[in-house]
Amino acid sequence: MNTGGWEGVFSAISEWFGDSEPHEHEHDHDHEHHHDHDHDHNHGDAVRTDPPDRIEASIVMNARRERVWQALADPKQLGAWFNVVLENDIIAPGVELRGKVLHPGFEHITWKATIESVEPQRLLSWRWHPGAADPDYDYSGEPETLCTFVLEDVDGGTRVSFTESGFDALPPDRWAEGFEMNKGGWPMVLEAIADGLAR
């Protein structure tokens, strides 16, 4: 694939991944944990106190809506955001996206998301487990967050409004891990994609 202006996306993803070094999940597999909901010692000073439910970001991309949609709905381009090679050929409701992470130090991770809704050139959403970086931990029993992209024509291009919701349903340590990582990551990646499309 000719990545063209996507180098910025790869760089942004490297920074996003770089904020979270690969580590053993805080649920210790060999020792019993007694979790204190008021003092979460597993994540330093990150304490769950009435956590925000969602991350929201919006950006105007200097590209036609059809082109922005292609960047979202084509598996090769979608995978490029996350430096992932997706195994899928199509994106459709109910499809589980899977792919190998290429970022150094994270090659052991399989990137996964399940497509929730597809409204061509208007809306794409998926569910996933945010911050799921431990291949030995079973995240399947935990709630997922919902990532939604909404596209609309505006002067100068296409507005992309992004929301990741459902963080308040996560266990306290997982909320701290996923929310703190993604609240900085998503705006950074949306800006990098916008830069890539503008070239």
Q: Which of 71, 74, 75, 72 is nearest to 85 (CA)?
A: 75
Mean pLDDT of 129-140: 87
Whether 96 shows a pLDDT value over 70: the answer reads yes
Q: Specify the CATH number for 4-19+51-198; select among 3.40.50.880, 3.30.530.20, 2.160.10.10, 3.40.980.10.
A: 3.30.530.20
Query: pLDDT band at residue 116, thresholds of 50, 70 and 90?
Result: very high
CA end-to-end distance (rounded Å), the chain = 16
Q: Quote the pLDDT of residue 62.
A: 95
pLDDT at residue 134 tops 60: yes
Rounded to an integer, what distance in angstroms lies between the CA atom of residue 103 and that of residue 21? 11
Cα 179 from Cα 174, distance rounded (Å)? 8
Q: Give the pLDDT confidence of 23-64 residue by residue, as tens digits.
A: 444 444 343 333 343 434 333 343 434 457 899 999 999 999
| Residue-level pLDDT at 3 | 38
State the pLDDT at residue 180.
Answer: 84
pTM for this structure? Answer: 0.76
pLDDT at position 174, please?
84
Residue 17 pLDDT grade (very low, low, confident, very high; cuts 50, 70, 90): low
Task: Give me the sheet containing 96-101, strands edge to edge.
Answer: 54-61, 157-165, 145-154, 123-128, 110-119, 96-101, 84-86
Average pLDDT for the chain:
80
- CA separation (Å) from 70 to 74, 85, 174, 186? 5, 16, 32, 19
- pLDDT score of 89 more than 50: yes
- List the single range of 13-27, 28-42, 102-116 with lowest mean pLDDT: 28-42
CB 22 within 8 A of CB 108: yes
Taking Cα atoms as reference points, which of 115, 171, 169 lies closest to residue 145?
169
More confident residue, 154 or 53: 154
What percent of the chain is predicted at pLDDT more than 70? Answer: 74
Residues 10-22 as b or e (16 or more Cβ within 10 Å = b): bebbeebbeeeee
What count of Cα atoms within 13 Å lies in the side-chain half-sphere of residue 49? Answer: 5
Q: For residue 147, what pLDDT is reported?
A: 98
